[in-house]
Amino acid sequence: MCNESLPNESPTMNRYSTFAILSLLSLSTQAMAVDVRVTVTNLLGPTSSAFSPIITSAHSGAVDQFNSGSAASPGVEDVAELGATGATLITEILAQQPTAIAAPTQNAGGGFGPLLPGASQSVVLSGLDPMANRYFSYLSMFVPSNDTFIGNDSPTAIQLFDAGGAFIAGGFTLTADRLWDAGSEVNGLFGSAFIAGQSAADGADEGGVVTAADFANGFDFYQGQTTGPGYVYASSFNADTPIISFAFEVVPEPSTAALAALLALTACLRR
């Protein structure tokens, strides 16, 4: 509740107080970073494919993770072949833009692991600057496979914020025709990830370039094989099959409440 001005408070004092608070409010608003939660959901059936933790990043458009027709970087190869949590890839991202924010998704109970069919994972990208972190990128291994992955080839394809800094990310869904082959390892049962009795580190080097994955025939090796989690792999999908969804939401910060309190106080001083 607002109180009336005390007898010894002058209109001039109120004006200065209001000016000071509004100045602080303006500075706080300009400096306030944004936290965005990214939630991913595996849309495939219960005996189908999984994903390694999704390496997410927010950047200015300067972060180009890979290009179709070019050799995969060590960071992309690390994720696409081993399902790694992205230490090498994140180092590459930060080398391209030191102010980028990057992190892998985690399971609901915490910790890293495969994104199994029907399951969801999330991560909060904290402290985003709507200008320096305007665009979103992702990369993850699609398993079982030798070096199949998902990722956006264009660094400016997905916007979190518009040119004015407003949050506009609404989410998207990928279909199977968006799968990539890193071209770094020969495809086959030997050396495949996510299959019981195989080691992802054993695959034979291919020395190729990134191309669109052969989603129609490239997974026949794994049919009937027991996966690491214990289920027998049985899956079929075509170019239009939805495989994974991405959703975005702003996470409210305590500073939001503080700014609201400043606004209320300013309103009181204006009386």
CATH assignment of 34-252, among 2.60.40, 1.10.287, 1.10.3470, 3.30.530: 2.60.40
pLDDT value, residue 119: 98
pLDDT value, residue 214: 85
**Buried/exposed 82-106: b ≥16 CB within 10 Å, e otherwise:** bbbbbebbbebbbeebeebbbbbbb
- Helix or strand run (H / E) with residue 122: strand 120-128
Sequence ranges of the domains in the chain: 1-32+254-271, 34-252
Give the CA distances from residue 218 to residues 45, 187, 214, 230, in Å, rounded to whole numbers and listed in that order. 18, 8, 5, 22
Q: Which residues of the chain have pLDDT under 50?
A: 1, 4-7, 9, 11-13, 15-31, 256-258, 261-262, 265, 268-269
pLDDT, tens digit, for every residue of 147-167?
A: 999 999 999 999 999 999 999
pLDDT value, residue 132: 98
